[in-house]
Structure formats: C-alpha cells, structure tokens
Structure 1
Amino acid sequence: MSTTTKPGICRICSAHCGVLATVVEGKLVKVTGDPDNPLFKGYTCAKGRALPEIHNNPHRLLHSQKRQPDGTYGPIGAERAMDEIATALQNLIDRYGPRSVALYLGTNGLPYPASALMANAFIRAIESPMFFTANTIDQPGKQIALAAHGHWLGGDIDFHEADSWILIGTNPLISKSIGIPGQNPAQSLKNAIDRGMKLIVIDPRRSQTAARAAVHIQPRPGEDAAILAGIINIIITEKLCDWRFLEENVDGFDELAKAVSGFTPTYVAERADIPADQLIDAARLFASYGTRGGMVNAGTGANMAMHGNLVEYLCLCLTSICGRWQRAGERVTRPNTLLPAFTAKAQAHPPYEGWGYGERLRVRGLTDAVCGMPTAALADEILLEGDGQVKALICIGGNPMAAWPDQRKTMRALESLELLVTLDTEMSLTSRLAHYVIAPMMQMETPAMTMGSELIKYYTSGTGIPAPYAQYVPRLVEPPRGSDLTEEWQFFLGLAKRMSLELWFVNFFGGGGGKFMESPPIVCNFNGDSALTTEELFEKMCATSRIPLDEVRSHPHGNIFDVEAVVEQKDPDCTAKLDVGNAYLLGELAEFLAEDFRSAHSDSAFPFRLIPRRHNNFMNSSGIALPKLNRGKPYNPTYMHPDAIAELGLESGALVTITSPHDSIPSVLEADDSLRRDVVATHHAFGGMPTEDDEVKDRGSTVGRLIPTATDYDPVTGLPRQGNIPVSVTAR
C-alpha cells in the first residue's frame, strides 16, 4: 500500500496553517498540524483536520453539470461547458452590452490565490464594471474608514509585544481573523495574558475571547460607536492622548474632540446599558497601561449592526490619538515575503477618495467604492428591467442563496437570469438554480503558497502574517480517478480564449481597491496562454518577491526568513497627516447622537436583538453536512439566555419562529448563558430554500431571509442591517 505524509497548507481561511497531509493509495486520509512548521508549530483547527472528509465528500461534484429542459442536471465536459458558456456570454454582451454580465466572488475563493485575480481580469476584459465580492456584505467599513483616515506607513503594532488591545464584536479564537494573529490564536492570547497584556472586549456575548479579557463590556447590540466615542471622549478629557504624535502626524483633532464631547460616561452607560465605571476603566487601561500600547480592531458583529463605517473610523481615530503605530527604528510587523519588498516609514499616507466614484448603480444612489461594488444591490440590478439590467451572473467560491440578504429576493433574481454559472464543489443552494455548475479541483489537488495570507494585511489593520514567513507546497493528491475537474482560474482563461479576449492580471488585494499598496502590483498578460500551469502562474505572481519562490520552495515546512526590516524615519519633506476629523463620518456620529435610542430599545413587538455568531467548525456554508464537522447538529440553533427562554414558557430544544419586521424563519432554541437576556444569536449561511422550512433540523435556517436590502442600509456601501436585527421569538 502506497502511503505518503507531506507538508501542506490548509487554505480554508486566511490563516493558511501549515499542516501534514497523509495520502494512501492516492486518497487524502488524514490532516494534522505540522510540528516542524516554525510559525504554526503543530497547530490546526477542526476545519483543517476535516480536509479529508471535505475532499472525499460523497456529494462532491466530480463532473461539471448542465441543467436540462426538465430541470434536472446531467454531466457535461468542462471544455464543452466553456464552449457553451462563452457563446452565451458573447450573445448577451452583443444584445445588452457588457454591463449585463456580473461576477460574484465569495470567501471560498481564498484557497486559490489566482482565482480571484483571473476572475477580475476576465470581467475587466469584457469591460463590465459589475464585479462584486463578499466584502460588501461583511465588513466594507474597513476600507471606507482607511480611505477617510489615511494609512500609517510604519504599519501595525505587533500583538505579541502589546500591553493592551481592544476587540469589538469579534471572536478571533474562533474566527482566526482580526486582532489576535490567526496562527494559533488561543496560544497567542494565552502567552500575551501570561506576560501581562490587558485585553478589552466589547461584545454582547461572553465569547471564548471575551472570557479571557481583563475588561468585558457587554452592551446592547448596535452601540459600538457610542462606546468608542465615549472612550475617545474620556481619553481626550483626561489628557491621555499622545500629544507629540498628534502634533506631528494627525489632522482634525479639534473636530473629533467636539464630535465626541456629547458621549459622556453617563450618556453612554444609559444608551449601551453598561456600567459607566467600566467604560472609564477601559479607557484608562487602554490609554495608559504599560509602556507598549496596542491597537483597536472591530469584527463582523460590529460592522453588521449598522454604522460599520463609523465604527471602523473611530477604531482608527482611537488608535491614532494614542499614537499606536510602529515608530522609526522599530521592527516592521508584517514585512512582505512572497510579495515585493517595501520601505516602511514613520509617516502618513494621506486620506483619499473612498466612495462616490466609478460605476453608479441604478438603485439607492449607490456607487463603486474602495470596498468594491455594493453586493446587497446586485439582486435589484438583476430584477430591475431596462438599460443596464444584469442578465448573466458567474459565482466563484460563493453561495448567494445562503449568504446574501433578503433570500426571497435573491431567489427571484437568480431564477430570472438568462445565464447563471457557479463554480462549486457540490450542488449548493445557489448551484441548484444554475444553468451550469463547473466542478473545480480542491485544495490538496492544486499547488499552494502563502501569498494570499500576506495580502490580507491590505484589507485592514490587525490581519496578515506577523513575521517574514512563507511556504509553498506542490500538489499533494491527484483528482479522483475518472473525474473531469478544472482549476477555477483556468475556467476564466478558457472563456477568454474562446471569446478572443486579452487578459491582464493585476496582482493586488484591498488596500483601497488598489489605490494604496506599499509596493507596486504585479501585472501579467495572459493573451492566448491556455497551456499555462498553476505552477508557472505562481512563478509569474512571485516574479518580484522579496524572497525568491525557489528559496521558499526549499523549505517545504515553511520558514521564517531572516529579514531585517525596520521602520525608517519620516521623509524630511513629508507633510501628509492622518485625519481624525472626517466631516462625513463625524456627521454620521452627530446623527447617531441625535437618535431616540430609548424608543429604539423599547419595541414590544420585537423584544430581542439578533446578532451573528461564528462557528468553530464551519467557514460560512462549507462543510455543514459533514458528520465530522456538524457532530450530529447540521443546523444553526438560535441561542438564548436560559432565563429568557423560561420567561417565554419555552424549553431549550424547542422549535420556534424567529420573526423580524421583514420576514420569518424557523429555528431550534438552545440555551446559552453567555448572552445578554435581550439578545439572541445564530450562525450565518445555514438553511435551505424558502420552501424547505420543515427541514430545519436537517439544514438550519437562513438568517438572510430576515434582512431587507432596500431599507435600513448604509448609503455608501449598501450594507443592510445584518446584525442587531429586531426579532420576536414564538413557539412554532
């Protein structure tokens, strides 16, 4: 029996853990942490360890599928599918123009670093502006805030060296994402607390991360902006700012001070339903504890509860008035490795245009922005007849029926398309509506490198690899015998060849939609190069890497390279400053202050607020049906405090209906005393079609059905209220 165990990279999330993969007779049978990986040191999570089950899922598509006239699906060769799709796309472009074709990129594009970039190259080649991503239904405020505030070119403070840190509406011990480094976050937090770091967590739930905090503020949902403004006000009032940093590097301080002056401890305490003394303690602890202060990061919970742009901006303002950025002479926290080298400097990159430019959508006055096109408006663009109507949609690494807000509208939109194409490993909810489903290769069947994990730092502060680390691994397993699979990026190259398009691949991520990067993007031309392999493509992508790809390859378990990168002094002629006085966002803060919050919190028809919650075993809708991951619970419960359950005369495990002002969903109650009594929580991206509610214990339910897109939305990003949702809970 042929058995091999080799180093690999898990790419389920952006952490890109180094793992060991065991293959027996050509089949992936085991994945464990790699003890010889110098960064991860044997760590991996439940999702990574389940990669064999994910690869060998009996429902996995081994051939692409085409919808038949009777609505059933039958196999179609990948090359034949590309022929037909290319012809259909060209016909639509000829009839309706390039804007009739849209592309949606979901989070499951992360495992394949070339896929998103080639998809973007394709949509630009047909001259369609309709490129949408999961970013604008998740945390688009991060890029909006960076554009308004500016970037600090010295980079982030290292979590491993900080004396204090604030996390808002995020649980990185589970999400492996923002704030605590995703490379074994539990161990990183334990080490930090053992050396004396004080963690401050703002979260309506006593999450796994909050349980380890020195201060856990447990507010009403949706009051994160009030708490941040209150902390800033206390720090300014008590003169705890870094005055020298402010004078040299920050504009707008007087405007910020005036804007937050109404957020007194008494006001914030009443509004957020928290102790005023706790707010004061958190402000003083963050501003003055220790000699090496930390930073402020907000997550999905804070961004989805409305005012996400403002929350992210106040996080940056708080960071800057306390001077919490790397200074001249200090080590660069995230030096590039597979990306080109750059020179970090102790100076600002000034604010830039963040929204209101480029393509203008036909609904709600929305435009393109640094965070991308407003995904919550895409269903409207499909349904709204007239010039510019979207007639075709290609989904890569995403499942809109489970992830987008307003599930019923999403379903009407997808069913109305003349062409819907998904690239999917199984017949997901969205693929069940598609005309073509392209079956792709999976993680261990393709080569991998950690460039994607490096790139994520341009998304926001507190993300990326906090070391000059890189890893490359070859293909570790062949596709199943008899299968017909393609790599996602090759699908777009195949379409381009058939449509006689010239593709220009621009290698960048986030950072203001390409407006800001420390180093120039890599640009490649792929005109007619259909024989290109992924290995050759990686060579092109890494042509200007700080550490040559060949050198990275020579360390199969990954390596922390000897990179002497320190922050250099400010340029003598630099006059750029960070801005904490942005008129638009401080205007939003003034409107927030003027809200009648008392009435908002006293609606007897909807007495609870629903918040999102990450799941340790799933990355959005992936893997929910796998027994190893769902452990007998393939549904998303509605978590509720046991006292609140008792007051309703219900029991944990009861079937209930969750109703918002927009719609309702079935659910299963589960007692959880980590929540406030007026808050319920559930996981995103579960559920079936709207007609499958009786299968709630087999599938869960789709939170997106509770969320309208055309009311209560952000006017810049289009992000609707996806957290802090008013709901009632009744017996079903």
Structure 2
Amino acid sequence: MSPHPNLTEHFVNTLNTLCGRYLREGEVVPNPGVVSPERPFMAQANPPNPAWGKGEPSRVRGLGEVFGEMPTAALSDEIITPGEGRVRALISVGGNPVGAWPDQLKTIEAMKHLDLNVSIDIKMSQTAKMADYVIAPKLSLERPDLTVLTDSWYPEPYAHYTPAMVEAEDDVIEEWEFFWGIAHRLASELNLPGGPLPMDKKPTTDQVLDVVAAKSRIPLDQIREADGGAIFSGEVVRVDAKTPGTDVRLDVAPADLVEEIGEIRAQPIVSGAGYLPGEDFSHRLISRRMREFYNSSGRDISGLTARDGGTNPAFMNSRDGAEFGIEDGEIIEIESSRATILGVAAFSDDVPSGVISMAHSWGDVPEKDQDVRSIGGSTNRLVNNEEAYDPITGMARQSAIPVNIRPAKKPVSSG
C-alpha cells in the first residue's frame, strides 16, 4: 500500500534468494495443496513471464490487466469517464468499494454514475447503502463449503469440508445462485476448473463444489469423509530435479526496476513529511491491521468493538500530542492534499514521532463524520488515486500518506 510496492517485493524476493530460502531437489514440499490440482515442484527457477501487458487495456492512465484482471484502483475512473467502454454496472460480492477503494470521494461519485449497482452482502455496508439492489446471502454455517481459497495458505496440506450446519431463514441465497440465475437467463455458461456448470437445471451447492474440486490433488469425497477437517499428509511430495538443459536464474536487476530505482535516487531530500519541495506536511499516515477486524469486517460485532468503542484509533506518539496540542482520546482532524477526515487520537509510544497509524476500511460517507467515535475515520478518503500510483498495477499510495494533524475545530458528536 506504500509507494513502490513492486520494487519492494522484488527486493524481498532477491533477499530470500540470496539467503537460500527455497527448497532443494529431494526436499519435502510442506504443503503441496489438497484442493488444488496436482502439479510438479521443480528445483529450478521459472523464466520471466510478465503478468501485465496482456489482454484488454484500461481507458485510463495507460493501465491494463494484471494476472488477467483489470486494476480496481482505476475502476472509479472507468465508471465516471464517458465514452465507449464505460463501466455502467457493478456487482459487489461481499466487497465494500465505498469503504475500501482508494479515493473515497471519487468512489462515491462513481457509485452515483452507475446505471446498476448491486451489493451482495450480509450487512448494510457503506456500499450497500448506495446500491440499487441489496441481495442477502446465506451465512457460512447455512451452506456447504470447502477450503478452496485458503488451500495454499496453510503450512501443511490441510482441508476442511463442512455441510450446512443450520437451516437458513428468510429470503436468502448463495452467491453462486445469483450468478447462475443470471447466466441461465442469458443462456450463457459458467466455466469452473472441472468444466461448465449444468445450465438446464440448477445444481445443488455440493454439485457445484464437485465441479470446483474436480481436479483436486485429494479427491473431494475423501475430504468430505474427514469430519472436522484433516491434514492429508499420507503421500509425501518432494521437489523433483530440474529439467535437463534448464539454466534460468533470478534477474536481480530487471530494466524497468533499475529505472524505478534511478527515479527514487533522483528524488530530492526534503524536510517534513512530504515527498516534493514545497509540500508542507507534518506527518505520514501509515496503514495498520487491528487484531479484531479484517478490513471492514467485524465492525458491527459488539464483542469486537468493546475495546476501542467502534473506532479505528489514530495511533500517534505522545510527544507529537504535546507538540500539536492534542490530548489522548481527543478527536483530531487529519488533512491530506485530497481531503480531511476525523480520527480519535490514541497515544502509543511504539509509533515514531511524525507518524500517524490507522486501520483502513473504516468510517462512512463524509456526512457521517461526526460519529467518528463509533464508526471510525475513512483513511481511503485521504487518497488521490491519480497521484503516486504504481504504473503497472495502478495501486494508489494508500500508506505513508503526507498529512497534517490538529485538534478538531468544531464540537463533534460523542457517537
């Protein structure tokens, strides 16, 4: 989320390679996957295969597809910008663009430009409140499910299938049913790893999972038999020898990243928290995680909000509080070149002077700012998505944002 994310990741990969943090021939692969298809693990590097520069280009900022997907950071512009190819309809599945996309002010404008805005969500998020239709989906315990997304995240080959544990109430559907219904009406196909779903008759969720996991390394029926989930370590997978004649090496200095390094070295060293001469900022706002929450999820659960009262505190050093006339727990204004938000100051001396640290995806639309103590502040409103963005992914600078801080000027509701 900070500037130069691709360069940062390249440095990390280079350091890990130089330190030998990779598996050698004959070593055991800790997690070869369970639901994922079986594949070889080779003791060799892969040749360069850029994930960008392919597919359909975006209409804005010279961006394009990355890993086969268009950049979300430019979607507001694709909705607002007139002309052929304008995005006119949006379906958000558990997503919260108003709360999460960079440049909240532009995102709100984009939501108003849509011809159709559908939100599939279990709650009335900031985005759902602006939607034309809100579709209520089943909760996790109300449907069969499988650890597909997290298959490669576990340190060992773990998988868990669970049937529906409780009967769903009211008029709710599963997310896949929504898209199946649209495809059925359009006489279109829905293609999954195991092939297309049947479109003449709506399948059950278990039948959908059968198609999703049709090529899984461990058969889905075997996963289903493991009540409560299991680690499938029976068959040890080892790293194979490299392909004969292969001599690929990590390129530690790709030309485009060398060029980016040169641009960074050419940047002037300035005083204060800005990046350019003439910028007058006292702090940089950095993003952080909060243990009880995941982005905007969990904010409506009272047991999780008990500690901080439902806000995302603006953590800062107590010395900065004394210098700027701010008291611990006081409501402050945080101003970037794009906008101003409110935050609740929380002194924490593990935060360096000159830094404000806040979790993202909080708050609401500007008209709700007075409730900052109970809903938090929207840090993505401070972002200008056309400023300091990554030239490949379009990702805007959402951390290390230059800001100024001061006590709030007007009385603010206690929430």
The TM-score, its normalising length taken from structure 2, stands at 0.93
Give the secondary structure class of the aligned counterpart of 1:453.
coil
> After superposition, what is the alpha-carbon deviation per residue over 1:253-279, rounded to whole angstroms, capped at 9, x for unaligned?
xxxxxxxxxxxxxxxxxxxxxxxxxxx
> After superposition, what is the alpha-carbon deviation per residue over 1:102-125, rounded to whole angstroms, capped at 9, x for unaligned?
xxxxxxxxxxxxxxxxxxxxxxxx
Aligned equivalent of 1:549, options 215, 220, 227: 220
CA contact (8 A) 2:273 2:281 kept: no
Structure 1: gaps of 5 or more residues: 1-303, 458-463, 506-521
Aligned equivalent of 2:87, options 350, 374, 390: 390
2:171 counterpart residue number: 484
Aligned equivalent of 1:425, options 101, 104, 122: 122
Say yes or no: does 1:539 pair with 2:210. Answer: yes
2:371 counterpart residue number: 695
**CA separation of 1:345 and 1:444: change in aligned 2, threshold 3 A:** same
- Matched residue count: 403
Aligned equivalent of 1:467, options 156, 181, 190: 156
The alpha carbon displacement at 1:577 in A equals: 2.9
The alpha carbon displacement at 1:533 in A equals: 1.0
Aligned equivalent of 1:704, options 380, 402, 410: 380
1:407 counterpart residue number: 104
- Distance in 2 separating the partners of 1:333 and 1:356: 33
1:378 counterpart residue number: 75
CA contact (8 A) 2:325 2:407 kept: no
- Distance in 2 separating the partners of 1:523 and 1:598: 56
Structure 2: gaps of 5 or more residues: 409-415
381-390 or 336-345, which moves further after superposition? 336-345
Give the secondary structure class of the aligned counterpart of 1:336.
coil
Say yes or no: does 1:570 pair with 2:245. Answer: no
- Distance in 2 separating the partners of 1:365 and 1:708: 17
Aligned equivalent of 1:646, options 322, 327, 332: 322
> After superposition, what is the alpha-carbon deviation per residue over 1:34-91, rounded to whole angstroms, capped at 9, x for unaligned?
xxxxxxxxxxxxxxxxxxxxxxxxxxxxxxxxxxxxxxxxxxxxxxxxxxxxxxxxxx
Say yes or no: does 1:618 pair with 2:297. Answer: no
**CA separation of 1:346 and 1:569: change in aligned 2, threshold 3 A:** same
- Distance in 1 separating the partners of 2:371 and 2:157: 48
**CA separation of 1:668 and 1:600: change in aligned 2, threshold 3 A:** closer
1:54 counterpart residue number: none
Percent same amino acid among aligned pairs?
A: 40
> After superposition, what is the alpha-carbon deviation per residue over 1:666-687, rounded to whole angstroms, capped at 9, x for unaligned?
1111111111011110111111
- Give the residue type in structure 1 aligned to 2:316: M
- Distance in 2 separating the partners of 1:626 and 1:601: 36
The alpha carbon displacement at 1:371 in A equals: 6.9
- Give the residue type in structure 2 aligned to 1:670: A
CA contact (8 A) 2:332 2:407 kept: yes
- Distance in 2 separating the partners of 1:698 and 1:716: 37
**CA separation of 1:320 and 1:600: change in aligned 2, threshold 3 A:** farther
CA contact (8 A) 1:494 1:530 kept: no
Aligned equivalent of 1:607, options 269, 282, 287: 282
The alpha carbon displacement at 1:361 in A equals: 1.4
The alpha carbon displacement at 1:548 in A equals: 1.5
The alpha carbon displacement at 1:405 in A equals: 1.3
Following TM superposition, the consecutive aligned residue runs of length 4 or more in structure 1 with deviations greater than 4 angstroms are 599-604
CA contact (8 A) 1:317 1:580 kept: yes
Give the secondary structure class of the aligned counterpart of 2:178.
helix
- Distance in 2 separating the partners of 1:391 and 1:371: 20
1:126 counterpart residue number: none
- Distance in 1 separating the partners of 2:219 and 2:22: 29
> After superposition, what is the alpha-carbon deviation per residue over 1:115-167, rounded to whole angstroms, capped at 9, x for unaligned?
xxxxxxxxxxxxxxxxxxxxxxxxxxxxxxxxxxxxxxxxxxxxxxxxxxxxx
The alpha carbon displacement at 1:599 in A equals: 4.5
- Distance in 2 separating the partners of 1:317 and 1:580: 6
Matches within 5 A, 1:204-353: 304-353=1-50
The alpha carbon displacement at 1:397 in A equals: 1.5
CA contact (8 A) 2:315 2:347 kept: yes
Considering fraction of residues, name the structure with more helix: 1
Say yes or no: does 1:503 pair with 2:190. Answer: yes
- Distance in 2 separating the partners of 1:677 and 1:575: 48
The alpha carbon displacement at 1:530 in A equals: 4.1
CA contact (8 A) 1:639 1:680 kept: yes
The TM-score, its normalising length taken from structure 1, stands at 0.54
The alpha carbon displacement at 1:600 in A equals: 6.5
- Give the residue type in structure 2 aligned to 1:421: V
1:581 counterpart residue number: 253
Matches within 5 A, 1:666-681: 666-681=342-357
- Distance in 2 separating the partners of 1:643 and 1:599: 19
Aligned equivalent of 2:135, options 434, 438, 443: 438
- Distance in 2 separating the partners of 1:356 and 1:600: 37
- Distance in 2 separating the partners of 1:527 and 1:479: 24
**CA separation of 1:501 and 1:604: change in aligned 2, threshold 3 A:** closer
1:297 counterpart residue number: none
> After superposition, what is the alpha-carbon deviation per residue over 1:619-667, rounded to whole angstroms, capped at 9, x for unaligned?
1112212211101611111110111111112210111100011110011
1:151 counterpart residue number: none
CA contact (8 A) 2:273 2:283 kept: no
- Distance in 2 separating the partners of 1:567 and 1:667: 51
**CA separation of 1:306 and 1:529: change in aligned 2, threshold 3 A:** farther
- Give the residue type in structure 1 aligned to 2:265: L
Aligned equivalent of 1:493, options 145, 161, 180: 180
**CA separation of 1:358 and 1:644: change in aligned 2, threshold 3 A:** same
- Distance in 2 separating the partners of 1:313 and 1:392: 36
- Distance in 1 separating the partners of 2:135 and 2:201: 18
**CA separation of 1:436 and 1:370: change in aligned 2, threshold 3 A:** same
- Distance in 2 separating the partners of 1:587 and 1:322: 25
- Distance in 1 separating the partners of 2:5 and 2:82: 31
- Distance in 1 separating the partners of 2:298 and 2:344: 20
CA contact (8 A) 1:406 1:704 kept: yes
